[in-house]
Chains A and B, each alone.
Chain A
């Protein structure tokens, strides 16, 4: 019986996740990716200066025969990356679909745990909740970042991000499930706590890209994320109603 459910839930999540992932990719291609590419121009310009400066001492010892060219070669020990253009965009498509399916798994599981079934309208609410947990709450402390932005150590940010997501989700779940003063109190504490603790920030904030571009990216990333979550929520709700409501509600 459990495997029957598993098959149903996986079907719901795969259909919704792939659909929402492809939509997300489409929105990213027009929204965030052009801004990321623009920021990389600044990032690469900034990165080229560093090895050049490091190479100066060496260059002085070996006479000034090699400059930027040599510095670039020493920088070559980097891992594989997709080539710019369609290859890179194809990998972004893959990553967006994986993200969509991953979030669809979590959303489908949450709908089952909640135990009230779903349809596309309720799905929109679920999508809003997902947006609040995974985008809005972390963005208060760690707004979306362009490449080349100064930031605190990665692990600290990842831990804060995960903690914030889990706390916000647990808070919303408690409020929606209990619907009494205890539920709301738990929700407030859990949702506010990560921001009282505070997100890790770099000692010297700033970035290589102009501030205006940074702000634009934050706005575009948050709006595209809202679109993604609404689509994911509606699709998950609709497929849940079609395949899983009778079995699991």
Chain B
């Protein structure tokens, strides 16, 4: 019936590692959304002014253009 302290410690360490991983994944999700917004604005947004400013880069980076 004795409780093995080392098992408790291992379990809490595993939990801590899971929390760390979840936090890293959440942060990465946010970074991915930033990336999508940047790429959309740069390569896809329809506004003429954006299109004209980014024109040569859109063609060179093979975004569908015009």
Contacts and interface: CB of A to CB of B under 8 A. Distances in A.
A249 to B, nearest CB: 9
Nearest to B56: A92
Interface string A63-106: 00000000000000011111000001101101110110111111
Interface of A: 1-6, 8-10, 13, 24-25, 28, 31-33, 36, 78-82, 88-89, 91-92, 94-96, 98-99, 101-110, 112-113, 115, 134-135, 138-139, 142-147, 151, 154, 157-158, 161, 221-222, 224-225, 228, 247-248
Interface residues of B, number: 42
A103 B24 contact: no
Nearest to A112: B28
> 6 tightest CB-CB pairs across the interface, nearest first?
A102-B38, A105-B35, A79-B48, A95-B57, A5-B27, A81-B52
Interface of B: 19-21, 23-32, 34-39, 41-44, 47-49, 51-66
Nearest to A139: B62
B42 to A, nearest CB: 5
Contacts of A143: 62
Given A98-B38, A99-B39, A106-B35, A28 B24 contact: no
A157 B64 contact: yes
A3 B27 CA distance: 7
A89 B63 CA distance: 18
Nearest to B55: A81
Contacts of A1: 19-20, 23
Given A1-B19, A5-B24, A102 B39 contact: yes
Contact of B44 (A32, A107, A158): A158
A99 B27 CA distance: 21
B38 A224 contact: no
Given A98-B41, A221-B59, A109 B29 contact: yes
Given A32-B56, A109-B32, A2 B66 contact: no
Nearest to A88: B56
Given A104-B35, A138-B62, A144-B62, A112 B42 contact: no
B56 to A, nearest CB: 5
B41 A82 contact: no
7 contacts: A33-B56, A95-B42, A99-B61, A104-B35, A108-B28, A112-B25, A139-B62
A103 B59 contact: no
Contacts of B58: 95
A109 B31 contact: yes
Contact of A247 (B24, B51, B55, B61): B24
B56 A103 contact: no
Contact of B64 (A92, A94, A103, A142): A142
A107 B29 CA distance: 12
Nearest to A114: B28
A110 B30 CA distance: 12
A228 B64 CA distance: 18
